[in-house]
Amino acid sequence: MTTKRMLVTAALPYANGHIHLGHLVEYIQTDIFVRFQKLRGRRCIYICADDTHGTAIMIRARQEGRPETELIADMQAAHQRDFAGFDIAFDHYGSTNAPENYELCKEIWAKLRHQGLIREADVEQLFDPVAGTFLADRFVKGTCPVCKSPGEYGDNCSKCGATYSPSDLIDPVSTLSGATPEKRSAQHLFVQLEMLHPFLDTWTQSGNHLQDEVANYLKGHFLGKPLRDWDVSRPEPYFGFAIPDSPGNYWYVWFDAPVGYIASTHQWCKLHSERLDDWWRNPETEIHHFIGKDIAYFHTLFWPGVLHASGFSLPTFVHIHGFLTVDREKMSKSKGTQVSAAKYLEHLDPSYLRYYYASKLGPRLDDIDLNLAEFAAKIDSDLVGKVVNLASRTARFVESLGLAQEYPHDGGLFAAGAAAGSKIAEAYEQVDYARAMRLIMELADAANAYVENTAPWTLKKDPNQQVRLQEVCSVVLNLFRQLCVYLAPVLPRLADGCGRLLQSEIRSWQDSQTPLVGTSVSKFEHLMQRVDPGKVQQMIEESKDQTPVTVPNATVPASVAVAETTPAPDEPLQLEPLAPTCTIDDFAKVDLRVARVIKAEEVPEAKKLVKLTVSLGGDVTRTVFAGIKAAYTLQQLEGRLVVIVANLQPRQMKFGLSEGMVTAAGPGGTEVFLLGVDSGAKPGQRVH
């Protein structure tokens, strides 16, 4: 049973950064899905837009000294250029900062109000008096209130994992201005998601709208208890839409972003004389969202809740994919593996990446790995060596003859390939592109074996075999064309090239079911080049440290900015910027003492902690818990001198009272480096 219409979206890229290879997993995956549906004759549109609102955009525009609208316009142009370069063919690409979006937000908001889903409450939040804005978690840094690790963000601690609110941080600092934030209270508006709980239970757990593991995740983690209210407003200043019935408040970017799916569709409708209701309020329309697993919560709970409450259609399916790693590691700017779309296109053919991703993408949430060696090998072997080679080794023989008038006997090869079409289509339909590619390559193998067995190069030499030569080449070129049809959703350029070669455009999946006869054959030209490993290398090299992380704005004391060269983004100074200037008196408040570790004990239940008993000389001892379990053995610790913060307020921890802090450098985990003192120092001596 197929519906009349199909609406497909990919997540809206945020206007604060450029598209990179990680983003492209999603846009390519979605594009393949849409192209497949269209090839199959479905009425299908691919809708996307730039996500433009929020504090980050406001701050960045301020730093760049220009209006937000200018910033987001530039970024949108860049995004659309990148997508076009990868043959990602949106039917419409809009922006969340559009009048259509504002109107829809108002409409949805009114419905939520009307149903009593909105409540108001005061929220105490940190406010940056210099930048004049409230501070989101990520814009506050300070010392973790639990483990006392410095330089942690306002939401949770990367060292001990504790979660807290920004106002719990010790000595919080605004990363925008370096100022000390103050607490301010402001009215916020909340969606009472719990009221939609019964609906969400049903929608997520039945009807097959989600991958199983996603449904399980939601059930196990969110749906087993009351759903939290969702804070959907932000006080001014904010770059976004003002909430009509709540002066001084704006919709949080995450409120209006998904509405952008509808708004962008609306824009498309206006351009094509279509009715929005046919696409968003009609059971004859399927809606498919493609997203990454990081934003699963919004698309599987909040968004369906909002759609339900405001009378729009619910997604037929939310397809969630994993992340991209490069050579098994998280993309890294310093290693050059965070490659921008634009940089890739300077060096390599977009078809390579489309095919490589297709060959790795399955229907599940697994992360996919871009293995650079495999990347080249796969393209060379599958596409150049197997598929394109079919044309390459036969087309020249029939340039003057064209294809046979009648499709010759081929031992059932074409028919078998045609029959495989339904399995391939099924794999595409299930977003199991990896399986589809495997099935297609099996056909390519069979076709190459046919070339081997019929040996057209031998036939060519025998004047009596010219008819047979034409027959054999007609078979091979038809098998090649069949493969191109199956690959067309992934490789539109190859399909076009095939159309030019055989002088018959590939328009439909059905083209795979009937052989082509009697057409002439164009002069053969290479349809795809082998991967030049040098270019891959060059792309990686040029991606290293391309964009230094934006340094906090100009209100940072000048002394901070004296470094001659900007440190690489992964370098320590960049990861943890210098704290604001403190006075000698400030420093004197911290009493650092030399201490000797007299006992180091295992804390079996603790993952990171070691219990240390340290001597400050004489019989003064302190018990200190230190998060260095992964970096030091007990033997290494016992007897050595360390530097401790001796006047730190004692902290009750899970395993006992910690009466100080051992000083160390490094990011944590196994990379912790205790401070030592040169020999001669005595326990109890103060560090000045």
Partner RNA sequence: GGCGAUGUAGCUCAGUCGGUUAGAGCAACGGCUUCAUAAGCCGUGUGUCGGUGGUUCGAGUCCACUCAUCGCUACCA
Q: How far is the CB of 401 from RNA (least distance, A)?
A: 15
388 binds RNA (CB under 7 A): yes
366 binds RNA (CB under 7 A): yes
Q: Smaller CB distance to RNA: residue 8 or 291?
A: 291
Name residues contacting RNA, limited to 110-139 (CB under 7 A). 123, 125, 134, 136-137
Name residues contacting RNA, limited to 652-671 (CB under 7 A). none
Cite the DSSP H helix spans in 552-616. Answer: 572-575, 584-589
Cite the DSSP H helix spans in 367-516. Answer: 372-378, 389-392, 413-429, 433-454, 456-461, 466-487, 492-502
Name residues contacting RNA, limited to 139-178 (CB under 7 A). 155-156, 161, 163-165
Q: How far is the CB of 331 from RNA (least distance, A)?
A: 9
416 binds RNA (CB under 7 A): no
533 binds RNA (CB under 7 A): no
Q: How far is the CB of 388 from RNA (least distance, A)?
A: 4
Beta bridge partners of 538: none
392 binds RNA (CB under 7 A): yes
Q: How far is the CB of 172 from RNA (least distance, A)?
A: 13
Residue 496 DSSP code: H
Euclidean distance between CA atoms 629 and 611, whole angstroms: 9
Euclidean distance between CA atoms 315 and 98, whole angstroms: 23
| HEC per residue, 657-685 | EECCEECEEEEECCEEEECCCCCCCCCCC
Q: How far is the CB of 321 from RNA (least distance, A)?
A: 11
Residue 192-221 contact track with RNA, rule CB under 7 A, x = bound: ---------------------x--xx--xx
Beta bridge partners of 261: none
Question: Applying CB under 7 A, which part among 6-14, 282-290, 456-464, 674-682 lies near RNA?
Answer: 456-464
Q: How far is the CB of 214 from RNA (least distance, A)?
A: 8
Q: How far is CA 198 from each of CA 90, 194, 377, 463, rounded to the nearest angstrom?
A: 35, 8, 51, 78
Question: Applying CB under 7 A, which part among 86-94, 258-266, 394-402, 561-569 lies near RNA?
Answer: 394-402
Of 221, 188, 283, 151, nearest to 665 (Cα)? 151
Which sign, positive or negative, has the C-alpha torsion 334, 336, 337, 339? Answer: positive
Which sign, positive or negative, has the C-alpha torsion 262, 263, 264, 267? Answer: positive
As given in the structure block, the two tokens for residue 456 are 């057209």
Q: Is 171 helix (H, G, I), strand (E, B) or coil?
A: strand
Whether residue 531 contacts residue 373, with contact meaning beta carbons closer than 8 Å, is answered with: no
Name residues contacting RNA, limited to 230-259 (CB under 7 A). 230-231, 234, 252
Q: How far is the CB of 146 from RNA (least distance, A)?
A: 10
Q: How far is the CB of 293 from RNA (least distance, A)?
A: 6
Of 683, 68, 24, nearest to 370 (Cα)? 24
- The full DSSP string for 328-358 is TEE--TTTT-S-BHHHHHHHS-HHHHHHHHH
Question: Applying CB under 7 A, which part among 71-79, 379-387, 506-514, 590-598 lies near RNA?
Answer: 379-387
Question: Applying CB under 7 A, which part among 345-353, 416-424, 502-510, 520-528 lies near RNA?
Answer: 520-528
Question: Applying CB under 7 A, which part among 24-32, 360-368, 399-407, 657-665 lies near RNA?
Answer: 360-368
Q: How far is the CB of 627 from RNA (least distance, A)?
A: 9
Q: Smaller CB distance to RNA: residue 265 or 389?
A: 389
367 binds RNA (CB under 7 A): yes
As given in the structure block, the two tokens for residue 381 are 């072997």
522 binds RNA (CB under 7 A): no
Q: Smaller CB distance to RNA: residue 400 or 405?
A: 400
Residue 255, H or E segment: helix 253-271
Q: Smaller CB distance to RNA: residue 64 or 369?
A: 369
Name residues contacting RNA, limited to 311-330 (CB under 7 A). 322-323, 325, 328, 330
Of 424, 407, 295, 333, nearest to 9 (Cα)? 295
Q: Smaller CB distance to RNA: residue 133 or 177?
A: 133
Question: Applying CB under 7 A, which part among 77-85, 98-106, 432-440, 505-513 lies near RNA?
Answer: 432-440
Of 200, 287, 413, 441, the residue at the interface with RNA (CB under 7 A) is 441
576 binds RNA (CB under 7 A): no
Q: How far is the CB of 154 from RNA (least distance, A)?
A: 8
Omega before 237 within 30 of 0, i.e. cis? yes
Question: Applying CB under 7 A, which part among 32-40, 103-111, 528-536, 631-639 lies near RNA?
Answer: 528-536
Burial track 381-406 (b if 16+ CB lie within 10 A, e otherwise): ebbbebbbbbbbbbbebbeeebbbee
Question: Applying CB under 7 A, which part among 39-47, 291-299, 419-427, 533-541 lies near RNA?
Answer: 291-299
Q: Smaller CB distance to RNA: residue 67 or 226?
A: 226
Number of Cβ within 10 Å of residue 224's Cβ equals 9
Q: How far is the CB of 391 from RNA (least distance, A)?
A: 8
CB-based contacts of 467: which residues, under 8 Å, 6+ apart?
none
Q: How far is the CB of 80 from RNA (least distance, A)?
A: 26
Of 207, 411, 457, 682, the residue at the interface with RNA (CB under 7 A) is 457
Count residues binding RNA (CB under 7 A): 78
Number of Cβ within 10 Å of residue 129's Cβ equals 13
Q: Smaller CB distance to RNA: residue 111 or 460?
A: 460
362 binds RNA (CB under 7 A): yes
Q: How far is the CB of 523 from RNA (least distance, A)?
A: 12
Euclidean distance between CA atoms 540 and 375, whole angstroms: 14
Q: How far is the CB of 592 from RNA (least distance, A)?
A: 27
Number of Cβ within 10 Å of residue 604's Cβ equals 6
The tally of CA atoms less than 13 A away on the side-chain side of residue 635 is 0
Residue 577-616 contact track with RNA, rule CB under 7 A, x = bound: ------------------------------xx--------
Q: Smaller CB distance to RNA: residue 76 or 133?
A: 133
Whether residue 172 contacts residue 154, with contact meaning beta carbons closer than 8 Å, is answered with: yes
Of 585, 613, 610, 608, nearest to 597 (Cα)? 613
Of 120, 445, 576, 602, the residue at the interface with RNA (CB under 7 A) is 445
- Sole residue written with tokens 């001596």: 685
Q: Smaller CB distance to RNA: residue 17 or 322?
A: 322
Please, is 52 exposed, middle or buried when counting C-beta atoms within 10 Å of its C-beta (0-12, 13-18, 19+)?
A: buried
Of 654, 614, 607, 659, nearest to 637 (Cα)? 614
Q: Smaller CB distance to RNA: residue 69 or 167?
A: 167
